[in-house]
Structure 1
Amino acid sequence: MTRYLVTGAAGFVGRNLVDALLERLTPGDELTLLDREVGARHPRVRAVEGDLSEEAVLEAVLAERPGVVFHLASVPGALAEREYALGRRVNVDATLDLFGGLADRTRPPTVVYASSVAVYGTLGAAPVDARTPLQPQLSYGTHKRMMELALEDFSRRGELRGVALRLPGIVARPGLASGFGSAFMSDVIRSLAAGEPYICPVSPGATAWWMSASRAAGNLLHAASLATPGTLTLPALHLSVGQVVAALGGLFGADRPALVTYRPDEGTEAVFGRSPPLHTPEAEALGFRHDGTAAGLVQAALRAH
């Protein structure tokens, strides 16, 4: 029997992870979901609703002593920058409290932590690989790097088995408003698939690292099976917005690219639209995967919810 815990379970990646996890539960397994609003969706699901930074909520999720934890709860980039105290409380303080509450040298639980490529900060044209310096430019990226180090230290001490995965831009998030500065990556896919016009805040040549929510969920689940803890940058498709728009045109009609009006914002493009090529042979050797092609990415992204 395995007891699982998913924090941030009602979020975009969380919902897709929970769906994938429910398909893999075996008899006797138990699953606890934490978010501000969850709602039990399965007989073996226990819902804990509230803020992880609240002591009573933390005690509730730790009461069953989970053996496998997926920690996704966070305040996203743009919001964490605007509301620093909130970002620190959730992304740093509550996360450290969770790690400390889970720590157990006798039976160390597995903790899969959703980190972010925001730990890299502003990048040049050189490909990113395991030797690329980490220089986060936003509080969110700094928070994520701090928690990577904390998880590595808990693992070194034998109190947790921690795997931190640096997630790229995950698509396609529903709705047109979010705390993510990279929201355009989802918005352009959702809008063009629906045949709706879209004003894009970056140029067609803006490049990013893209991954569908279903592929992210599969990679998170795979991380829980790794024998060795560590921190990894995941394989992701390196695509321009123009390439994604072209893929949408190929899938939904040649008229779709014309629905995009490009009005680049220098600040948005500088932070979220100048990603260089990505080389992740270490993660690929361990079995992590990307979505394959731009068309495959779009198709998988539109199945997300």
Structure 2
Amino acid sequence: MRIIVTGAGGFIGSGLIERLAGMSRLPGAAEDISSIVAVDARFEAGARAGVQMLRGDIADPDFRDAMLEEPVDVFLHLAAMPGGATEADPERGWRINGEAVFGLLDLLARQKEPARLVFASSIAVFGVPLPRDKVDDETLPLPTLAYGAHKLVAETLLADHARRGLIDGIALRLPGIVARPRRPGGHHSAYMSDIFTALAEGADFICPVSPGSTSWLMSRERCIYNLLHAATLSSERLKGRRAFTLPALRLSMGEIADALAGRFGDGLRDRLSFASDAAIEAQYGSYPPLFTPIADGLGFRHDGDVESLVARALGLPVPQTG
């Protein structure tokens, strides 16, 4: 089985490559892994044994041709220009988040055997304001950011290629994935991770949303589990639906602060303050209850509870329950 991961130098991608490098076979797969290709414009980590590192720009058609010169069995497409950066430069964002996806679909469609494409979409497809009562599998996507619009277009193209039997694709709408390293990256939602890492490191942190603001969150570890689960999920179980929202915990910043204080002590609260930015809170901190029966029924999972999320987000032992 030949596996390609784009965006492999990023937060989720690097963790996914590390997990794949330690596996001989994907869970539920019939064949052993024969090769792993990690694709990104740059890599911060060094080479890993058994992994081919391929550097290049997925917006470059020649690079895409070279990347898919050999057939691929599983293609995990994580590469994207993030929301804040896309809003600042929507034309470049479209080349990476839109045109490049169509180019990849076109190349994958030429294979004799359809590849399983796992596409990292986003809850940004829903836009704001969200319904106040809930979001579920029937909620209409109405993006209000260029990034969300690009993801929705890519979902539609993927579904059409899958309908025609050209690929075997699944689009997973990822929630906020935590806890990313603290660095500039074009993510307006960076505070969702920064509250974990700053307070765990003993630093002061000013949260740009109120304690009662709510978001949908998932640890990187659980996100990787869900991506790999999608890589081998039976097509028959999808019943024609190729894009859906993953289960996630709906948490307030106050609940996260309480869980962090429970892990690191109440003195942590003295280092935390809140200064709500209305625009950020409206876009990222006003999420209603989330219901994901399709993903639940297919075996996708969230982190279980806030204490487990905090532990996984910070690479700590997960507390045992029951």
**What interval of TM-score do these two structures reach, taking the shorter chain for normalisation?**
over 0.9
Aligned to 1:16: 15
Aligned-partner residue type, residue 175 of structure 1:
R
Among 112, 132, 135, which residue is 2:139 paired with? 132
Q: Is the Cα–Cα contact under 8 Å of residues 85 and 186 in structure 2 kept in the other structure? A: yes
Give the match for residue 116 of structure 1. Answer: 122
Q: Which has the larger displacement, 159-168 or 14-23?
A: 14-23
1:227 to 234, 244, 251: 234
Structure 1 residue 180 displacement after superposition: 1.1
Instruction: Give how far 1:105 is off.
Output: 6.5
What's 2:284 paired with?
A: 272
Change (3 A) 1:184 1:28: closer
Secondary structure of the residue that 2:232 maps to in structure 1? coil
- Report how far residue 178 of structure 1 moved: 2.3
Distance 1:10 1:127 in 2: 34
Please tell me whether the aligned partners of residues 21 and 49 of structure 2 are also in contact (alpha carbons under 8 angstroms).
Answer: no
Contact 1:119–1:135, Cα closer than 8 Å, also in 2? yes
List aligned pairs for 1:15-94, cutoff 5 A: 15-26=14-25, 29-38=34-43, 41-94=47-100
Aligned partner of 2:296 in structure 1 is: 284
Alignment partner, residue 320 of structure 2: none
Out of 158, 165, 168, the position equivalent to 2:172 is 165
Q: Out of 303, 308, 318, which is 1:296 matched to?
A: 308
| Cα pair 1:68 1:111 within 8 Å, conserved | yes
- The alpha carbon displacement at 1:113 in A equals 0.1
For residues 40 and 32 of structure 1, the distance between their equivalents in structure 2, rounded to whole angstroms, comes to: 14
Q: 1:232 to 1:212 in 2, by over 3 A?
A: same
Deviation for aligned residue 1:269: 0.2
1:133 shift after superposition:
1.3
Q: Partner of 1:303: helix, strand, or coil?
A: coil
Aligned equivalent of 2:197, options 190, 196, 202: 190
Q: What is the distance in 2 between the residues matched to 1:21 and 1:195?
A: 33
Secondary structure of residue in 2 paired with 1:211: strand
Alpha-carbon offset, residue 11 of structure 1: 0.5
Worse-superposed segment, 288-297 or 226-235: 226-235
Which runs of 5 or more residues in structure 1 are unaligned?
none
Instruction: For 2:185 and 2:112, locate their aligned partners in 1 and report how far apart those are by CA, in whole Å.
Output: 41
Between stretches 123-132 and 237-246, larger displacement belongs to 123-132
Q: Work out the number of aligned pairs and report it.
A: 303
State the partner residue of 2:152: 145
2-side partners of 1:202 and 1:287: how far apart?
33
* Partner Cα distance (2:183, 2:61) in 1: 33
Within the candidate set 213, 223, 228, 1:216 is matched to 223
Counterpart CA distance in 2 for 1:202 and 1:43 is 42
d(CA) in 1 for partners of 2:190, 2:310: 15
Is 2:250 aligned against 1:238? Answer: yes
Deviation at 1:64, TM superposition (A): 2.1
Amino acid at match of 2:42: E
What is the CA deviation profile of residues 219-278 of structure 1, one whole-angstrom value per residue up to 9, with x for unaligned ones?
000001111251110000000000001100000111112211111000000000000000
Question: Does the 8 Å CA contact 1:40/1:46 hold for their aligned counterparts?
Answer: no
Query: Would you say the 8 A contact 2:208–2:276 is kept in 1?
Result: yes
Indicate the SS of the match to 1:144. Answer: helix
- The CA RMSD over aligned residues, in Å, is 1.4
TM-score, normalised with respect to structure 1: 0.96
CA contact (8 A) 1:176 1:187 kept: no
- 1:5 corresponds in structure 2 to 4
Aligned-residue identity in percent: 43
Task: Give the letter for the 1:171 counterpart.
Answer: V
Q: Which residue of 1 aligns with 2:101?
A: 95
Query: 1:30-62: CA deviations, max 9, x gaps?
Result: 011110123663332111101011122112210
- 2: CA distance between counterparts of 1:48 and 1:150? 25
TM superposition outliers: structure 1 runs of 4+ over 6 Å:
none
Asked whether the equivalents of residues 170 and 211 of structure 1 are also in contact (C-alpha less than 8 Å), the reply is: yes
Unaligned 5+ runs, structure 2: 26-31, 317-322
Worse-superposed segment, 221-230 or 247-256 = 221-230
| Helix, strand or coil at the partner of 2:75 | strand
